[in-house]
Structure 1
Amino acid sequence: MEEIDQFTKWATNLQSIAQAGLHYGKDVFDRERYEQVRKIAGEMMQAKTGLPKEQIKTLFLGDEGYQTPKIETRAAIFKDDKILLVRERMAQEWSLPGGWNDYDQTTAQNCVKEAREESGRIVKPVKLIAVQDRNRHNKPVLATHVTKVLYLCKEISGEFVPNDETDACDYFALDNLPKLSLDRNTKEQIELCFKASKDPNWETVFE
């Protein structure tokens, strides 16, 4: 598990304070100060990560209101003791079907939607495998916290069609996994899914 370094903690704390101040603050001079603090936090993260300014604005400074974690869902779909993975078109790495939770979807609804869009499968969530803080399990560590929600899903129907996000889809045994997209899922997380699929008394992992 990779820990967030102190510099990143300082930058994210400054960003959180500034964002809350901009949301709740009424005095025009206070808001100007919060804007300046937020700008400095963004510059700190740009210096730390080397990411372009526009990407920093999107990933780190693009939120409004009281700062809360983003939510990501992933679907674990099994057949013959193999797990379904999709290949990300851009990165050419493999992951469980999933993505950001849309604002108007529950986590279960979003899991179904993402599975359909990325793998062509119609699924039904049947078990909550885990609710995890992304930065405790995935790399690289992000300034924005993400809550990952993993569902065990029953496959009902459907077949894969290449799309804008994924260009391949297949089932893999645990001992024969392809190159994984580690920011989306690690081998340990996929192992967790295998364990949940075999345990009728599985208790949700959370941390």
Structure 2
Amino acid sequence: MRQDPTATEDTWLARAKRLLALAETGQHFTTDPFDRGRYDEIAGMARAMLADLGRVPVSRIEGLIPPHAGGYATPSIDIRGAVIRNGSILLVRERSDAMWAMPGGFADIGSSPAENIEREVFEEAGLQVSARSLYALRHKVRHPYPADARDFYKLFFLCDPVAGTEPQPGAETSDAGYFAPDALPALSQVRNLEADIHAAFDAHRRAPSPAMFD
């Protein structure tokens, strides 16, 4: 079950952390020296904001928050949402590979797991949903997904529609619709396996006691 939704992080703290994450991402990917200077300045401002909020020297912040491009590497987070209606599951067709998957993507810094998947379903399928329960958390390398140089934890949520609208594709998808478990289209294996989808149907039928999330 979800924890108290009112127990949120301080707004300015969340913004400063998000600003620093964006700046460090820019520092990692840019090849333009002028852009690097701008990202360096933004990162410095974000660290100063965090220092002010914590009432500590900036040096404490620099030692506390390692750069995203270095330091101790941690797994990336991929979140998928299973929306089941009348015995069929919502899938979207990805523009990048023309294959089908449950809506989802990388988790954004500053948003909870539920907020991330609810936003992804809306952006990729045009549906407003509410994350009901976490039905699986998988380490990607321990399952038969295609090989990937990156390391991922994959979070799978059952989601309930909050409005009766029909799915429609978004900016990153070319189609969206519901499919029966015995009539699945060609799946994007890097995003989800057939086993992930059948696990969603099993969880939906069993209605297990939900794990706490967020």
* Alignment TM-score, normalising by the size of structure 1: 0.65
Distance 1:72 1:161, change over 3 A: same
Report whether the alignment pairs 1:149 with 2:174: no
Q: Where does residue 190 of structure 1 map in the other structure? A: 197
- The size of the alignment, in residue pairs, is 143
Q: CA deviation at 1:161?
A: 3.8
What is the distance in 2 between the residues matched to 1:92 and 1:165? 10
- Percent of pairs with identical residues: 36
The alignment partner of 1:127 has SS state of strand
What is the correspondence of 1:43-62 to structure 2 with a 5 Å cutoff?
none
Partner Cα distance (1:193, 1:152) in 2: 7
Equivalences for residues 129-144 of structure 1 within 5 A: 129-144=135-150
What are the ranges of 5 or more consecutive residues in structure 1 without an aligned counterpart? 1-61
Whether the 8 Å contact between 1:86 and 1:168 is mirrored in structure 2 is yes
User: Secondary structure, in 3 states, of the residue corresponding to 2:128?
Assistant: strand
- Which residue of the other structure, out of 86, 89, 108, is the alignment partner of 2:92? 86
Match among 199, 203, 207 for residue 206 of structure 2: 199
Measured against aligned partners, the alpha-carbon deviations of 1:125-154 in whole angstroms (never above 9, x if no partner) come to: 111100101122243221221000000000
Q: Structure 1's 100 and 138: CA in aligned 2 closer, same or farther, altered over 3 A?
A: farther
Q: Which amino acid aligns with 1:141?
A: A
The 3-state SS of whatever aligns with 2:72 is coil
The equivalent of 1:105 in structure 2 is 111
Q: 2:128 aligns with which of 122, 125, 132?
A: 122
* 1:163 to 2:170 alignment: yes
Match of 1:174 among 165, 177, 181: 181
Q: Label 1:203 to 1:123 Cα distance change in 2 as closer, same or farther (>3 A).
A: closer
For 1:13, the equivalent position in structure 2 comes to: none
Distance, in Å, in 2 between the alignment partners of 1:161 and 1:85 is 10
Alpha-carbon distance in 1 for matches of 2:104, 2:144? 15
Q: What is the alpha-carbon distance in structure 2 between the residues aligned to residue 130 and residue 198 of structure 1?
A: 15
CA contact (8 A) 2:92 2:169 kept: no
More strand by share: 1
Q: Distance in 1 between matches of 2:157 and 2:185?
A: 21
Residues 168 and 177 in structure 2, CA contact (< 8 A), matched pair in contact too: no
In the alignment, the residues of structure 2 paired with residue 119 and residue 63 of structure 1 have an alpha-carbon distance, to the nearest angstrom, of: 32
Gaps of 5+ in 2: 1-67
Deviations 1:54-109 (A, max 9, x none): xxxxxxxx833310000010000011010000000121100000000001111111
CA-based RMSD: 1.6
* Counterpart amino acid of residue 174 in structure 1: P
Aligned residue among 76, 80, 88 for 1:70: 76
